[in-house]
Chain A
């Protein structure tokens, strides 16, 4: 039980008064940063990184973890309250979180998100504590073929279940995938689809720009038009009793939450995949295994709990390859890695042997940060809910300002702000014409990974397309993906596809 002794030492450091203060400060700051549309854990970690040179490394890493966790919790807040996912990991949270807020259940949705995040975080930190080193080998077994299969799986768990107009869904997926190819073609190193050599497109179209555009500006325009004079959002109230109710409701969701935690941890651990596919898969699985799949997307609390457990679990999982292999799974972990290098720590297989103090200090601070995050988050929920009670025109004006500033902040380009306005109007029109927007956003998120890993595999295998099914791991994933895609189709056909109104194609 070497591990326990080491962890106890870690706790001794992370529970000192100074470090506790740091945790509380970091989590609060992270929550607000994460709650701001456009900003996420990357921004939070980036600003405090230089400060970490000034404080001792053990406190520095605690501060970084606290901000990281806080931002992960905070991401759900803008997803639920405003319907704008603050980060790609929180897209799935909007599907049911936003309808819940519109029904006046924002408080409950926020509690669900907080509790789910806590469960996901805790289970994954436990897994991390117990299995970090052996699991590193599993991450290594993942090559491009496996990455492709996994992304495909994430895609189908979600898409195969869609109840929208099939033709329009296909259009939106293709559009998202095409937009994801804008910028540089990694394989040939050539720019493509840069539309008349606009330098703003060199970096591609960021997920945030599209999401803020269609979910932020687009949603506001839609609400303005459909709401006439009265605001559509029901003002939410929250009392202590609601809080208790919320926690009790969550108690019934152990299956969803533990599934989300394990899924999130394992998918998040894979360097290229990360938290976004994890959250989508958790949502898709929760929906397909639910007794009442129809209620998803209309404000089912499980639809909030599943992706939130998964994305928090994944954010812990993504620390694993960073620490054990020195490979960052996300921009945030890349910055954390940079921080470690600055402190003179060499991430990699030897870190656990050479620097046990650091590693276990980090792990123990994950536990504390998680506790602090859930407590502070729940304490602040009334404040967030209160924000929804603002008159609609006031809320609108502020959200538009946040969309503009939040769209500018990550890349610091006016180009992106223009794109947001463009996507906003386009999203508004498409939504009115019953085009589903979620597949568009998801395709943009998963597209680059999919194309990259697909072509990497083919290059490695000299164009042998069978390579995907020949390798055991990727073959399994592809089989499951096909199953996910075929099952609803079979169900659909059995129910009599004749009822469908689509004679074309």
Chain B
């Protein structure tokens, strides 16, 4: 049985290689090419937003033959990405490992001492910036930000804010909201953004700070209501939702979706991957996806990206410091 299976697999393999090989070689000029499959480390577990977007990249790369070797996603989501960060640190000089990052790229090393300095890693490309929106259940009486603040105050600290976990992006936003409006909410961690949205719709929590992509299905079905966008400008798909800035509160928070390589990744490899992601960012699939999910596809590479990372790290250090001992309560 084993042999039959193997032979079939081998045939399928050969066929697909022939297909890939035909297209891939012409796509990229001569120079460095990966010699073995490229490992795409994902800083989150299977099925989350970060995982989904990383696998989307994998699919686009495969479909458009943008790499001469397959890109293989590997989830190392343990410890809010600490596992992935440590793994990348131990892969110094490796030209076949890239990591898909999110904001825990800065927050995890800041919150727990894992011996990782992100400055050492090699920036490759920032693909997009994801946005955050404050949501409530569509059946609730809360229509505007003022209603929200009033309702939270009236609840006397019993207002439930669903989120993915203490120290995660939405908990930082929650902390910023608490500070800005002088309110106190009960933060209930659920692990995944989809779970959070479901609990808002099911009435188990009162509000959430979700990415638009996580709440879109419910929004379209009229079950969730966006109250405020935490973006510099209004989000195209929610034209009637004001930004915090419009309402006179300077709260802007975003989630970056980038790729980095390990320390001392060979320069030719960096160039190869940068070019690969640049081509990804120009594909039709990526453009459609970013439009549908109101992602800001702001492509950034090299030193500018590194500068962005370091600036963001500073910002997060400040937010975390303001949150104080919240994480260890």
**A interface residues (Cβ-Cβ under 8 A, vs B):** 28, 32, 42, 46, 49-54, 139-144, 183-184, 186-191, 194, 197, 199-204, 271-272, 321, 325-328, 331, 333-335, 337-338, 341-342, 344, 346-351, 380, 383-384, 387, 411-412, 452, 456, 459-460, 462
Contact = CB atoms under 8 A, between A and B. Distances in A.
A187 B86 CA distance: 22
B34 interface: no
B158 interface: yes
B5 A32 contact: yes
B296 interface: no
B262 interface: no
Contact of B204 (A144, A333, A341): A144
A186 B165 contact: yes
A50 B55 contact: yes
Contacts of B223: 349
A53 B62 contact: yes
A383 B202 contact: no
Interface string B26-50: 0000000000000000000111100
Contacts of A141: 202
Contacts of A51: 62
A142 B220 CA distance: 22
B327 A189 contact: yes
B216 A456 contact: no
Contacts of A327: 194-195, 197-198
Nearest to B214: A326
Given A348-B221, A380-B1, 5 more contacts: A32-B5, A142-B202, A143-B204, A341-B213, A460-B160
Contacts of B112: 190-191
Given A53-B63, A348-B221, A460-B186, A203 B83 contact: yes
B167 interface: yes
Contacts of A46: 46, 55, 73
A184 to B, nearest CB: 5
Contact of B59 (A42, A50, A333): A50
Contacts of A347: 217
Nearest to B194: A327
A479 to B, nearest CB: 21
Interface of B: 1, 5, 45-48, 51-52, 55-56, 58-60, 62-63, 73-80, 82-83, 86-87, 111-112, 114, 158, 160, 165-168, 171, 186-191, 194-195, 197-199, 201-205, 213, 216-218, 220-221, 223, 285, 288-289, 292, 327-329
Contacts of A328: 47, 194
A204 B45 CA distance: 12
A348 B195 contact: no
A190 B113 CA distance: 11
Contact of A189 (B63, B165, B188, B202): B165
A352 to B, nearest CB: 10
Given A54-B63, A199-B87, A334-B47, A188 B329 contact: yes
A426 B327 CA distance: 36
Contacts of B1: 380, 383-384, 387
B62 A50 contact: yes
Contacts of B45: 331
Given A334-B51, A460-B188, A143 B199 contact: yes
Contacts of B167: 189
A288 to B, nearest CB: 32
Closest 4 CB pairs of A and B: A348-B217, A334-B47, A203-B78, A202-B78
A326 B80 contact: no
A313 to B, nearest CB: 22
B109 to A, nearest CB: 13
Contacts of A203: 76-79, 83
Nearest to A194: B79
Contacts of B51: 334, 338
Instruction: Name, among B188, B195, B220, B329, the residue most crowded by chain A CB atoms within 10 Å (CB to CB).
Output: B188
B78 A204 contact: yes
B189 A202 contact: no
B165 A49 contact: no
B199 to A, nearest CB: 6
A462 B155 CA distance: 12
B154 to A, nearest CB: 16
Between B160, B194, B217, the greatest number of chain A beta carbons within 10 A of the residue's beta carbon is seen for: B217
Given A50-B62, A184-B78, A203-B83, A271 B191 contact: no
A183 B78 contact: yes
Interface centre among B83, B114, B186, B195 (most CB of A within 10 A): B83
A458 to B, nearest CB: 10
24 contacts: A50-B55, A50-B62, A53-B60, A140-B198, A141-B202, A189-B111, A189-B167, A191-B79, A191-B82, A194-B79, A202-B79, A203-B77, A272-B195, A325-B198, A325-B218, A327-B198, A334-B51, A338-B47, A338-B55, A341-B52, A346-B217, A346-B220, A460-B188, A462-B158
Given A190-B112, A328-B47, A338-B51, A143 B58 contact: no
A189 B168 contact: yes
Which of B74, B80, B202, B203: most chain A Cβ within 10 A? Answer: B202
Contacts of B76: 203, 411
B220 A331 contact: no
Given A189-B111, A189-B165, A202-B83, A456 B328 contact: no
B188 A459 contact: yes
Nearest to B86: A199
Nearest to B112: A191
Contact of A190 (B75, B221, B327): B327
Contacts of A380: 1
Contact of B79 (A139, A142, A183): A183
B102 to A, nearest CB: 15
A335 B59 CA distance: 13
A327 B47 CA distance: 10
Contacts of B52: 334, 337-338, 341
A243 to B, nearest CB: 18
Nearest to B56: A342
Given A191-B112, A349-B221, A184 B80 contact: yes
A37 B47 CA distance: 22
Contacts of B80: 184, 189
Contacts of B78: 183-184, 199, 201-204
Nearest to B62: A50
A337 B47 contact: yes
A205 to B, nearest CB: 10
Nearest to A322: B194
Given A49-B55, A189-B168, A349 B218 contact: yes
A342 B292 CA distance: 11
A204 to B, nearest CB: 7
A50 B47 contact: no
B319 to A, nearest CB: 14
Nearest to B47: A334
A52 B47 CA distance: 17
A43 to B, nearest CB: 10
B328 A188 contact: yes
